[in-house]
Structure 1
Amino acid sequence: MGFPGTWMTESESMVYRVVPKCACSSIGQIMFYSDHGRYFDGDIHDSTSGLHKWSQEASQSPIEKTVRSHNALTFTCVRNPYARILSSFFDKIAGIQRNGKRYRGNLVPQLMQRYGVDVGSPENNFAFDQIASFRRFLLFARDTIRWRRPMEPDIHWSAMSGHISTFIVNGGRYDQIFFTEKFNDGMQKVLNAAPTPVKLDVNDVPKFNESEGHGPKRAHKVSEYFDDLSRHLIWEIYKKDFQLFKYDFDNPDNKFPKGEVDINEVHAKLGR
């Protein structure tokens, strides 16, 4: 099985388990900079050199060796589940991707046909009922996660605990888990603890948001997208994420966690 979704600096100063929709573009660029003193020119997800990635065959052996020996600072980053699934919807379903097309080709037409999801288009300035369409998308996301129908769950809306657990189950161990909502503090702690060839201050890092500007802007506050049924579905899908990463299920508008992550609890509960 190995360590899918894992990135490592070439200097082997740090190892990162990617969790989609949790600042992974920024984290990848910071890792790249900490080795080379410059940012990758383009979307870091497209890089094929300068950063070890499990998806690159030549990177698998060095990643495996470092993870198993725990010779590098190892970390990941999490995000409020309400905000994360909303971001997935606006980026992957309602937005146009970097290649100018819809995400996964026929996924959006399939959602329109089977679930009645409407996401507008650039031609009508993405005019659609965001709340109704999001709730229908949420039903689809739950179906993919619960029954793997009408397709396998997508990495952008499958639970964070699932991504994070594969790393533990296969023999990895985290040193730090920080919050997207407190990104600068958390990322700086990682950089301070890792022996990086190039030092950098997170406050100086430009914004890397690869999904921004490709689709509609969220028109309502978070809680307005989640009625009783939606919140029931969210709990069904992300119960572990709320519990382990201390997010506030009762108040969707409170994006901040209610406490720090207990790393030992994460290893105990996700390492089974």
Structure 2
Amino acid sequence: MGFPGTWMTESESVVYRVVPKCACSTIGQIMYYSDHGEFFDGDIHDAVDGLHKWAREDSQPLIRANVQAHKSYAFTCVRNPYTRILSSFFDKICGIQRNGKRYRGKLVPLLVQKYGVEVGGDDGKDEFDQIQSFRRFLLFARDTIRWKRPMDPDIHWSAMSGHVSTFIVNGGRYDRIFWTEAFNEGMQHVLDSIETPHTVDLASIPRFNESEGHGPKRAHPVEDYFDDLSMHLVYEIYKRDFDLFKYDVDNPANKMPTGEIDLDEVHAKLGD
């Protein structure tokens, strides 16, 4: 029984289930700051101390004991599936990563060869048809999720409900799930619900968008990337995300949720 993707402050003030592409860098830095009074120098995903992470073997017994006994406030954060998959495309597929290389080595050449995706040349700076390439990437994402071909789905575009569910299935319970689109309100609610060694003034916290600048800028409004077929594919892939986290599947231009998240419904539907 495990809790992959789960982070916890060293003071055990709060537990967080990471959902990729949903403000996780900013949330991790806020957690780090709340314990240490300073931010981690670098990408919080690279931190190997100062924050308990399930990926650290020495953290696992502490996280397991805390989560199973629900000792601390537990939360996660979600995002509109349309903007999340679009962000994954520009960051992970078109962008050059922190190490100066393409994401996952052979992934981009595979997409270019088998799906006809363009990514803006070797450095991602050339002009290319973003809409056409994104829609071709969407077919690839659907193939990885539906059939695990030509590879297993990547954490950055696999469904949020899948990430959220592992925490529940293995014995955890969320106290709050909030939206990236209402970040300050949601994060403030979490901070108001916990005691931290250092006070966090959310208004003065910078946004740690580690993917920013990796890839080309989005040249069109969100809705331009999604025609009828694309919207159908997105709903096929992310139906549970739209339903559980209350996003508008019929209008890619509306990134805001259309209702409140029902925590009991989330636990019931993702807990089996």
TM-score range normalised by the length of the shorter chain: over 0.9
Alignment-derived partner of residue 230 in structure 1: 230
Name the CA distance, whole Å, in 2 between partners of 1:162 and 1:86: 18
TM-score (norm 1): 0.99
Conserved 8 A contact 2:169-2:270: yes
Q: Does 1:166 align with 2:156?
A: no
* Equivalence map 1:15-34=2 (5 Å): 15-34=15-34
Alignment-derived partner of residue 45 in structure 2: 45
Q: Deviations over 1:209-233 (max 9, x none)?
A: 0011121000001111011111110
Name the CA distance, whole Å, in 2 between partners of 1:126 and 1:166: 40
How far off is 1:122 after superposition?
6.1
Q: Which moved more, 1:197-206 or 1:134-143?
A: 197-206
Conserved 8 A contact 1:5-1:17: yes
How far off is 1:96 after superposition?
0.6
Alignment-derived partner of residue 143 in structure 1: 143
How far off is 1:41 after superposition?
0.2
Identity %: 73
Alignment-derived partner of residue 133 in structure 2: 133
* Equivalence map 1:34-183=2 (5 Å): 34-121=34-121, 125-183=125-183
Amino acid at match of 2:55: S
Name the CA distance, whole Å, in 1 between partners of 2:131 and 2:60: 42
Name the CA distance, whole Å, in 1 between partners of 2:43 and 2:221: 29
Amino acid at match of 1:11: S
Structure 1 stretches of at least 4 aligned residues deviating more than 6 Å after TM superposition:
none
Task: Please state whether the residue corresponding to 2:217 is helix, strand or coil.
Answer: coil
Amino acid at match of 2:47: S
Amino acid at match of 2:203: N
Name the CA distance, whole Å, in 1 between partners of 2:157 and 2:34: 29
Name the CA distance, whole Å, in 1 between partners of 2:206 and 2:223: 29
Alignment-derived partner of residue 218 in structure 2: 218
How far off is 1:126 after superposition?
3.2
Task: Please state whether the residue corresponding to 1:34 is helix, strand or coil.
Answer: helix
Task: Please state whether the residue corresponding to 1:215 is helix, strand or coil.
Answer: coil
Task: Please state whether the residue corresponding to 1:77 is helix, strand or coil.
Answer: strand
Q: Deviations over 1:86-141 (max 9, x none)?
A: 00000000011011100000100000000000111365723110000000000000
How far off is 1:203 after superposition?
1.1
Name the CA distance, whole Å, in 2 between partners of 1:246 and 1:258: 6
Conserved 8 A contact 1:8-1:16: yes
Name the CA distance, whole Å, in 1 between partners of 2:122 and 2:32: 33
Q: 1:58 to 1:123 in 2, by over 3 A?
A: closer
Q: Deviations over 1:166-193 (max 9, x none)?
A: 1100000000000000001100110110
Listed as ranges, the gaps of 5+ residues in structure 1 are none
Name the CA distance, whole Å, in 2 between partners of 1:82 and 1:126: 24
User: What RMSD over aligned residues (CA atoms) do the two structures have, in Å?
Assistant: 0.9
Alignment-derived partner of residue 202 in structure 1: 202
Q: Which moved more, 1:188-197 or 1:5-14?
A: 188-197
Task: Please state whether the residue corresponding to 2:239 is helix, strand or coil.
Answer: helix
Listed as ranges, the gaps of 5+ residues in structure 2 are none
Name the CA distance, whole Å, in 1 between partners of 2:126 and 2:157: 22
Count of aligned pairs: 272
Name the CA distance, whole Å, in 1 between partners of 2:175 and 2:53: 19
Name the CA distance, whole Å, in 2 between partners of 1:121 and 1:47: 32
Q: 1:123 to 1:71 in 2, by over 3 A?
A: closer
Task: Please state whether the residue corresponding to 1:172 is helix, strand or coil.
Answer: coil
Name the CA distance, whole Å, in 2 between partners of 1:249 and 1:205: 32
